[in-house]
Every structure is written in structure tokens, then in C-alpha cells.
Amino acid sequence: MKSNHLKFKKFILGLDIGGTKCAVVLGDKKMRIYDRLSFSTRPQRGWKRIWKQLFASIDEIILRNHLKPASIYKAGISCGGPLDSRRGLILSPPNLPGWDKVPIVKMLQKKLHCPVRLENDANACAVAEWKFGAGRGCRNLVFLTFGTGLGAGLILNGRLYRGANDMAGEAGHIRLAMDGPMGYGKKGSFEGFCSGGGIARMAKRDGGQTISAKELFEAASRGDKVSRRILEKSVGYLGLGLSILIDLLNPERIILGGIYYRNEKFFRSAALKVIRQEALARSRSVCQILPSGLGEKIGDIASLSVALMDELDV
């Protein structure tokens, strides 16, 4: 990783910016990862301090791999929306308060002197799964992040669909119930029932437990009845939300990352039961529900994929 032979290669750099963690990834166009640095976001610090740490991570990767800045010929940034991909601006995502009109592409271009692209993280993950993961070979897929929040990336008719102003795929904002845990600023939303933050709030609201989603799954694995009851509720609403996407978009595959990928045994059979009850038979018959094919590398591969979107023909 740190030998001199790397200085003769051409690399791409990926930045994965999330509400829980950030990562800087050094890779190439074949999605080989040569180095990686990550840190806890702690968004309350403000974007300037986080950006300073991202810059320091870039410098460390360049230094310890004996690279010249010119060795990096493209860079990609994957970040939760809202954002403006054309102007390269981050526009106050719910999980990154205070990141208002941050000109992230311009700042990174100034540092690296190479082309830089910005993309919504769910879109970036959808492209990564489509080209390198569980979505290979299909033309219509939905990727759901199912992490700190819930967002959808849409590949429709063999193209990434962003919508009129980068707001397509905000599935987490769909209201599934008139009341329920808060998510994406709305009680009873898809994100409220099916995200790490939402599940933790549901545990507090319905079970009186101050517990993280990860701890809740661990307790459920040990047979804790309260935890299992909370997860059963989440699974029910996951099936309902997936049924809406199946009826609306008629995809070949819905691919889920994050919490679903790590805990599929708690979700799959019960969610499919709801889908059989709720979704149109003709639409559900052609739709596979799959965990991320890229697993824990999804964020890294997604950020690298953003850098190569012109080459990937998305």
C-alpha cells in the first residue's frame, strides 16, 4: 500500500460524507481500493471543522502512499441530500445541519486540480450496485440506504434518475402512518420506521428504551421480547414501503444496504409477506428484494463511482 510503485498509477479519490461517519478512499477505475481513512462525523462541530479533517485525511493518504497530487485524476463526493449536483453545492441535509450552500466541489477542485463530481449518496449507491454489485444486468432498480436515514437511488430504463432538481428518490419522506416515530421531519414516515435513527426513536417511544438500533438488534438476537416487538413493527412498515415502490416504479430489483444488509434474517420473510398482501401481483412477480451485493464496501465504491459517472454512462 505504501510502496513507491503506486506513484506511477493513476488514481481516483472518493469522499463519503455521512451524518455518522466520513471516509476518504483511494482507488482506481476497476474499483480496487488501495487506502482508506475514516472518522466520526460529529456534525455538531460544523462543516468547516469536518472539511478540515477531510482535507487532512486526503493529505495523509497522498503522503503515506508516496503520491503526487497529479496522480489523482478524478474525484467523487457522495453525500446525503438535498444538494445541487450541477453547481456542486450541499444544501443542508437533515443529518448535516448547517451545511447550507457549501461549495464542496469548488473547494476540492482547488485542492486537487482535477475534475470533481458531487452526487446524492443514495444515487451513488444505486450506481455502484448497478455497475458492480447486486444490480448488474438489470435496467430498473431501486437502492435503499437504510442507514442513519432512508433514501432511494433510482435506475430507470438504464439511466440514473435525479428528477428536476436532485430530489428524486426521497422515499424516506413518504408518510406510512398518521402517527409514529419521527424521521425526515415527519412523524410516521418511511424513514421514521425504517432507519437507524427512526428505530432508536421507536424503541424510546414504544418500548421506553434508550438504545441504539445496533443494540436493539443485539437484544433481539438474544430473544428480548420488547426488542423483537419493535422490530416486527419496523418490518411491517418496510414491507408497506417496498410495496409502494413496487407498484409505482415496477423495478426488477430493490436492493437494501445498511441495517437490512446486516440484519436480513429479521426482515426478509416478514417483509415479503406484507408485499404479497399489498403489491400488485404482476409487479411483485418480477421484482427481487436483495441485500447489498457490495456489503460494507458500498459507501467506498459509491464515492469512487461518482468520480467515474461520465465513464460509466449513467
Domain ranges of the chain: 4-123+298-312, 134-293
Q: What is the pLDDT of residue 177?
A: 95
Q: Tens of pLDDT along 153-204?
A: 999 999 999 999 999 999 999 999 999 999 888 999 999 999 999 999 999 8
Is residue 23's pLDDT more than 50?
Answer: yes
118-139: per-residue pLDDT in tens?
999 999 999 999 999 999 999 9
pLDDT of 8 strictly over 80: no
State the Cα–Cα distance between residues 312 and 124, nearest whole angstrom.
12
CA atoms within 13 A on the CB side of 26: 26
Whole-model pTM? 0.91
pLDDT above 80: residue 5 = no
Task: Check for a shared fold between 4-123+298-312 and 134-293.
Answer: yes
244 exposed, middle or buried (CB, 10 Å; 0-12, 13-18, 19+)? middle
- What pLDDT is recorded for position 208? 81
287-298 per-position pLDDT tens digit: 999 999 999 999
Per DSSP, the residues of 284-296 read: HTT-EEEE-SSGG
- Identify whether the C-beta of residue 215 lies closer than 8 Å to the C-beta of residue 196: no
Place of cell 441535509: 93
CA distance 41 to 43: 5
Question: Which band of pLDDT confidence, cut at 50, 70 and 90, is reported for residue 230?
Answer: very high
CA distances from 293 to 41, 254, 255, 298 (A): 25, 12, 8, 8
Pairing of strands 141-144, 253-256: parallel
Q: Is the pLDDT of residue 110 over 90?
A: yes
Banded pLDDT at 7 (limits 50, 70, 90): low
State yes or no: cis peptide before 181, omega within 30 of 0: no
CA nearest neighbour of 155 among 248, 300, 296, 252: 252
Which grid cell is 98? 448547517
Residue 1 pLDDT level (bands cut at 50, 70, 90) = very low
Class (C level, CATH) for 134-293: alpha beta
- Whole-number Cα distances in Å, 307 to 208, 231, 313: 44, 37, 12
Nearest of 24, 6, 121 to residue 66 by alpha carbon: 6
Strands 72-79 and 83-84: unpaired
**Mean pLDDT across the stretch 280-304?**
97
Q: What is the pLDDT of residue 207?
A: 72
What is 4-123+298-312's CATH superfamily?
ATPase, nucleotide binding domain (3.30.420.40)
Output the pLDDT for position 6.
57
| pLDDT of 4 | 52
241 contacts 174 by C-beta, under 8 angstroms: yes
